[in-house]
Amino acid sequence: MNLHNFTRLKPNDSLMRIARTPVKQAVRPQVPIDLSLMDPLISKYKGRKGNLIPLLQGTQDLYGYIPREAFEKLAAETDLKLSEMYGVATFYSQFRLRPVGKHIIKVCHGTACHVQNANAISDALREALKIEDGETTEDGLFTLESVACLGCCSLAPAMMVDDEAFGKLTGNEAVRIVKNIKIKENK
Amino acid sequence: MHSSTKVIVGLGSCGMAAGAKKVYDKIAALKQVENLDFELKKTSCVGMCYREPLVEIIDESGSYLYGEIDENRAMEIIEKHIHQKSPVRDYVVYTDLFETPDRSFTDGQVKIVLRNCGYIDPESIEEYESRNGYRAIKKIAGSGISRLDVIQTVIESGLRGRGGGGFPTGLKWKFTNNNKSDEKYIICNADEGDPGAFMDRSVLEGDPHSVIEGMIIGAYAIEATSGVIYCRAEYPLAIKRLNIALEQARKKGYLGTNILGITGFNFDIVIKEGAGAFVCGEETALIASVEGLRGMPRKRPPFPAASGLWKKPTNINNVETFANIPWIILHGGAEYAKYGTEKSKGTKVFALAGKIKRSGLVEVPMGMTIRDIIFKLGGGIKGDKKFKAVQMGGPSGGCIPEYLVDTKIDYDSVNATGAIMGSGGMVVMDESTCMVDMAKFFLDFTQKESCGKCTFCRIGTKRMLEILERITQGKGEEGDIQRLEELSFQIKESSLCGLGQTAPNPVLTTIRYFRDEYEAHIIHKKCPAKVCKPLLTYTIDPEKCTGCTVCAKSCPTGAIDGARKQVHFIRQEACIKCGICYTKCKFDAIIVE
Ligand SMILES: Cc1cc2nc3c(=O)[nH]c(=O)nc-3n(C[C@H](O)[C@H](O)[C@H](O)COP(=O)(O)O)c2cc1C
Ligand code: SF4
Ligand code: SF4
Ligand code: FES
């Protein structure tokens, strides 16, 4: 199920640190992860029933993915078991167990986008960024993903970069949007 | 003095994706710099997504809806319409004052669910209240309408669940009401998993209070103590606006304790964000997910009405179902039942997408024909190509072919075609859509989304997908159609939940209506719609080729030979069928077969 990987990212310090490390393969970040960022989250949800998913979502919001150390901290400080958390984290496509780029590009491959040639958008981005679906660029700026529907079907084919949606795309247009972000980043 | 002129920009997700935020900011800047006298407001989607970004100007003479407004056009309409008081007719897509090209989009629409979408600022509870908002729950509180009377009104309305199952809502409420417990839950299913459907998103973004009021009325009727809105995480704007709306409702006392003076009516709502699993739209999986578990469906009975969230009686309804409720309470069940057909009452929202001219949202009485929806409201097929089929019901549904275009849209007529009503997504396809590819697309989806509990759903869909992949790669074998049908039958019979039970539908309906297309792939190794690349052959038309060399230069494998100003030639054994030459040739000289 993990093929439609998806999450929303809130840029913050620790994430940017992670994002700068090359993450094309499953490289563990060199910079140590500041686990104390999780403390407010844990005190908010500790002991509440049904807290597993919100805890994982909150952790992922902090780091962009769920680092192994974070699982271990949750296991030590709440009554959740590692096996339970791992089971849930691998069931839902939202959760990532690997670091991601600073910006996440989600190309829609829902029905409406599929019939309007969403493949061309993914192909163009793959070529421009030189990565495959699910991978992150060398500079840690972009992760490319496919999702099932962004709810902008009337503007198909569509994609979302972080929280911003773009519609009526062509391959060139998609590449242009991504390049503009890159230019801004390099300033 | 304050002018009464209003400028309203549509800021739904669709508008934003088309650039509406920039337009809004531009107009705000103009207003400030030039100190203009009008009220700048925002609203959400009115349904005309194909004309986004939309800007409505309301002045003394009436309302003008401008379409496809970018920053430059925004400056122009502000200059001409506001400054010079002369509307820019060319950009007006809808008004009551003169004839506009889009008038037929609204013909026959009846707005109950979408009654406020595009008319109010979704972040203002006062605007919702000014259009009968929270009047239904006040009516219940004020005239002391009993729980059973509320349920009776919903039963009379004939409203059936809009999440896909079509179960009568009033009856479901009655069951949950019958099960006594000190704790009960009411859940709004906003998981909207069908890829190609977006009506729930539009309602949540455009009119969140109508859903909340519907839930409050439901909570009263079944005596629920807490509510949950389970919303997919892919809808950040919907979640944001729901949070704002909930906070406003709490402040005004529509949520809390002893609501509107009804003693003992204590109720509040929390939002749970989904984590990306289609199967969590299924009610028992959704409950598991809210409890923090893997979202796997379980056997029913017990139904949620008896044992749901935390094993307490629970009522689950869809977003659109809830949005109907306040209207029904205010106007009466009989009034609602005036719309629709004998067994499918009221209106239904459809999300039009795909190869249709006017993609967007429409709300029509049940019983309208597919033809009217696609050709009258939807304006027909993009580029005036030939209509081939419409997909309804998403991964659980099917493709309805062109010759059934006069099918009436109600639960039973759509079921008879082999498709289902589903949540109301309609993806329109033209002659350039390959039906085998479509079937493969949906199987790929359900196969990935299967929770894995049932062997047939988990492995059977994989086997079906493999067969479809073979067929689209030109490796189809005789007997493949039969194999697909057998597997379909077995999966339908042996799956626990709706996902598995309906997963074969897209394959079965395409075999039923487009068998010749399957045969063309399997026997003749051709894709009539020219979609399945491995089945295509690329050649060069010697009559048209000018020898410009563009194709030869762009072919990644160097499969194209020819000297400058000479007819070029593709060596078939080297061609990898990427189609690049076809897109590069300016003289239409590349033939695809
Ligand atoms: C695989 C699967 C996915 C579903 N997805 C949704 C969904 O996204 N939204 C929804 O409202 N109902 C969905 N349903 C239907 C729900 O199980 C349930 O019937 C519905 O929410 C009940 O509300 P209603 O009676 O108002 O339609 C799905 C069912 C299945 C089997
Ligand atoms: S039918 Fe499929 S999705 Fe449903 S419970 Fe069985 S395996 Fe899971
Ligand atoms: S691009 Fe077209 S016209 Fe030019 S050489 Fe190729 S086939 Fe001939
Ligand atoms: S199918 Fe792409 S946004 Fe819905």
Q: What is the CATH number of the domain that holds B26?
A: 3.40.30.10
Residue B462: half-sphere exposure toward Cβ, Cα within 13 Å: 11
pLDDT higher than 80, residue A118: yes
**Do the domain assignments include residue B372?**
yes
pLDDT tens sequence across A128-176 = 999 999 999 999 999 999 999 998 999 999 999 988 899 999 999 999 9
Q: What pLDDT score does A4 carry?
A: 39
* Intervals of CATH 3.40.30.10 along chain A: 103-185
Instruction: Provide the number of structural domains found in chain B.
Output: 5
Pair B510, B463 in one domain: yes
- The pTM of the full predicted model, rounded to 2 decimals, is 0.92
Which CATH number fits the domain that encloses residue B583? Answer: 3.30.70.20
Pair B240, B285 in one domain: yes
In B227-246, the residues whose Cβ lies within 8 Å of chain A are 233-236
Residue A156 Cβ inside 6 Å of ligand 4? The answer reads yes
CB pairs under 8 A between A and B: 142
**Do the domain assignments include residue B370?**
yes
Pair B424, B439 in one domain: no
Residue A67 Cβ inside 6 Å of ligand 4? The answer reads no
Q: Where is B71: in which H helix or E strand?
A: helix B71-77
* Cis upstream peptide for A157 (omega within 30°): yes
For A59, other C-beta atoms within 10 Å of its C-beta total 25
Residue B539 Cβ inside 6 Å of ligand 3? The answer reads no
- Cross-chain CB nearest to B198 (options A93, A148, A153): A153
Task: Tell me which of B45, B71, B103 is where a domain ends.
Answer: B103
Testing the interface with A: which of B241, B291, B294 to mutate, by most A Cβ within 10 A?
Answer: B294
**Do the domain assignments include residue B111?**
no
- Cross-chain CB nearest to B234 (options A51, A150, A153): A150
Encode chain B (593 residues) as per-residue pLDDT tens digits: 456 899 999 999 889 999 999 999 999 999 999 999 899 999 998 999 999 999 999 999 999 999 999 999 999 999 999 989 999 999 999 999 999 988 899 989 999 999 999 999 999 999 999 999 999 999 999 999 999 999 999 999 999 999 998 999 999 999 999 999 999 999 999 999 899 899 999 999 999 999 999 999 999 999 999 999 999 988 989 999 999 999 999 999 999 999 999 999 999 999 999 999 999 999 999 999 999 999 999 999 999 999 999 999 999 999 999 999 999 999 999 999 999 999 999 999 999 999 999 999 999 999 999 999 999 999 999 998 999 999 999 999 999 999 999 999 999 999 999 999 999 999 999 999 999 999 999 999 999 999 999 999 999 999 999 999 999 999 999 999 999 999 999 999 999 999 999 999 999 999 999 999 999 999 999 999 999 989 999 999 999 999 999 999 999 899 999 999 999 999 999 998 888 899 889 999 999 98
- Residue A130 makes CB contacts below 8 A (sequence gap 6+) with A137
Q: Where is B51: in which H helix or E strand?
A: none
Task: Tell me which of B334, B355, B374 is where a domain ends.
Answer: B334
Three-state secondary-structure class, residue B161: coil
Pair B96, B150 in one domain: no
pLDDT higher than 50, residue A14: no
A103-185 belongs to CATH 1.10.3720.10: no
Q: How far is Cα A5 from Cα B476, in angstroms, rounded to an integer?
A: 31
3-state helix, strand, coil in chain B (%, to 5): 45, 15, 40
> Residue B420 to residues A19, B80, B395, B398: CA-CA distances in angstroms?
45, 49, 10, 7
**Do the domain assignments include residue B369?**
yes
CA B442 to ligand 1 centroid distance, Å: 18
Query: Which residues of chain A have a Cβ shorter than 8 Å from any chain B Cβ?
Result: 1, 3-4, 6-8, 49-54, 56-57, 87-88, 91-95, 109-112, 114-116, 147-156, 158, 163-168
**Do the domain assignments include residue B528?**
no
Residues of A in contact with B391 (CB under 8 A): 111
Question: How far is residue B561 CA from its own chain's centroid?
Answer: 48
Q: Atom 18 of ligand 1 has which residue's CA nearest to it?
A: B283
Q: What pLDDT score does B75 carry?
A: 95
Q: How much is the mean pLDDT over chain A?
A: 85
CA A179 to ligand 2 centroid distance, Å: 42
Is the minimum CB–CB distance between B448 and chain A shorter than 8 Å?
A: yes
CA B548 to ligand 3 centroid distance, Å: 5
**Do the domain assignments include residue B180?**
yes
- Ligand 1 atom at minimum distance from B395 CA: 1
β-pairing, B590-592 vs B360-365, is unpaired
**Do the domain assignments include residue B527?**
no
Q: Atom 4 of ligand 1 has which residue's CA nearest to it?
A: B281
**Do the domain assignments include residue B119?**
no
Pair B481, B555 in one domain: no
Q: What percentage of chain A has pLDDT greater than the value 70?
A: 83
For the record, the structure tokens of A157 come out as 């084919």
Residues of A in contact with B192 (CB under 8 A): 151
Pair B478, B400 in one domain: no
In B361-380, the residues whose Cβ lies within 8 Å of chain A are 361
Q: Report the largest interatomic distance among the alpha carbons of chain A, rounded to a whole angstrom.
A: 50
Pair B265, B278 in one domain: yes
Are residues B388 and B414 in contact, defined by beta-carbon separation less than 8 angstroms?
A: no
- Ligand 1 atom at minimum distance from B501 CA: 31
Q: What pLDDT score does B401 carry?
A: 97
pLDDT higher than 50, residue A17: no
Q: What pLDDT score does A7 carry?
A: 36
Q: How far is Cα B69 from Cα B66, in angstroms, rounded to an integer?
A: 7
Q: What pLDDT score does B233 carry?
A: 87
Residues of B in contact with A112 (CB under 8 A): 195-196, 353-354, 359, 427
Pair B195, B296 in one domain: yes
pLDDT higher than 80, residue A18: no
Domain region containing B71: 6-103
- Cross-chain CB nearest to A93 (options B277, B438, B445): B277
Task: Tell me which of B268, B303, B334 is where a domain ends.
Answer: B334
Q: What pLDDT score does B2 carry?
A: 57
Q: How far is Cα B588 from Cα B136, in angstroms, rounded to an integer?
A: 62
Nearest to B220 by CA among B232, B209, B208, B212: B212
Residue of B nearest to A87 (CA): B294
Q: What pLDDT score does A163 carry?
A: 83
Pair B137, B283 in one domain: yes
Question: How far is residue B554 CA from its own chain's centroid?
Answer: 39
Beta-carbon separation of B351 and A167 below 8 A: no
Average pLDDT on A54-77 reads 95
- Cross-chain CB nearest to A1 (options B18, B236, B448): B448
Pair B227, B273 in one domain: yes
Unique residue bearing structure tokens 């906003």: B190
Ligand nearest to the CA of B441: 4
Q: What pLDDT score does B213 carry?
A: 98
Residue A111 Cβ inside 6 Å of ligand 4? The answer reads yes
